[in-house]
Amino acid sequence: MAKERASAQNKDDRAGAGPARRAGDRGRYGRLSRERVLASALELVDREGLSALSMRRLGAELGVEAMALYRYAASKDALLDGLVEALYLELEERLATADRTGTPKWRNELHRIARATYEVCLAHPQVVPLLSTRMLAVPLARRPLAVLRQHERVLALLRDAGFGEVRATAIFRAFTGWVLGYASVELQAMVDNPEEPDPAFRLGLHRMPSQELPRLREAAATLAERGGPEGLTVGLEALLDRFAGA
């Protein structure tokens, strides 16, 4: 990963060495690069949410005019795709460590991928909705390479474990749906009034009709607590047991 980023930086440096480079490409932190632009966009969204992200605002963060950013992200949609790319690059970095456990490799590796994905999602909760919405908008072949490499990682792992194409694809879909769905549920908004010490009023249960929603009101306090990585593991084990035993 470090070599890839260094190579990308060198390309940016060579591309900007000639007189055609715009003065606006040099911000308060020096020469821009795609990595720096995406890192700043991620920091901004982590801090203030997706609604704060715009070319003008990101340019101000970097100390350049907004037009200077279009070299690195051609549109707002491209910038959003870049945020997805940044999360998957972080996932790759987390997965770069060697596997030293003795459990069956394919299952252990899927658990490792799931746990790392969960950790990345919790580290960047404001970006998590894009992991679903951008996949709905962007065709497979146009997704960032980091996303495609992760798809390839899981599918190759399953095929190497002896699953045929159809079964491997089914497991891939179930695995992806469980992990991203679990992370999304963990991060869903639950608290109605953070300043309220009483749990029922904190969750806003008084706003929910008791006769129409008795079970939901009863379960709300438990739903508000995160299941954590343990819940992720239990659900994934059940899912993999189903496919392994079929």
| Structural domain includes residue 213 | yes
* Cβ atoms within 10 Å of 41's Cβ, excluding its own: 25
Whether 51 and 97 map to the same domain: the answer is no
Structural domains in the chain (count): 2
Whether 48 and 113 map to the same domain: the answer is no
Report the C-alpha gap between 37 and 29 in whole angstroms. 11
What domain range includes position 27?
21-74
Using the 3D structure, point to which of 74, 96, 113 is the last residue of a domain. Answer: 74
Whether 49 and 117 map to the same domain: the answer is no
Using the 3D structure, point to which of 7, 41, 74 is the last residue of a domain. Answer: 74
| Structural domain includes residue 7 | no
The pLDDT-based confidence of 244 (bands split at 50, 70, 90) is confident
Q: Are 179 and 114 in contact (CB under 8 A)?
A: yes
pLDDT above 80 (res 12): no
Whether 113 and 44 map to the same domain: the answer is no
CATH code: domain of residue 30: 1.10.10
* DSSP 8-state symbol, 71: G
Q: How do residues 194-227 score in pLDDT, each as one tens digit?
A: 999 999 999 999 999 999 999 999 999 999 999 9
Whether 134 and 197 map to the same domain: the answer is yes
- The model carries a pTM of 0.82
| Structural domain includes residue 8 | no
Q: How do residues 101-134 score in pLDDT, each as one tens digit?
A: 555 689 999 999 999 999 999 999 999 999 999 9
Residue 144's nearest CA partner among 135, 136, 133 is: 135
Question: Which of 18-27, 126-135, 141-150 is least confident?
Answer: 18-27
Q: How do residues 68-96 score in pLDDT, each as one tens digit?
A: 999 999 999 999 999 999 999 999 999 99
Whether 200 and 133 map to the same domain: the answer is yes
* Helices 105-123, 165-187: crossing angle, 10 deg rounding: 30
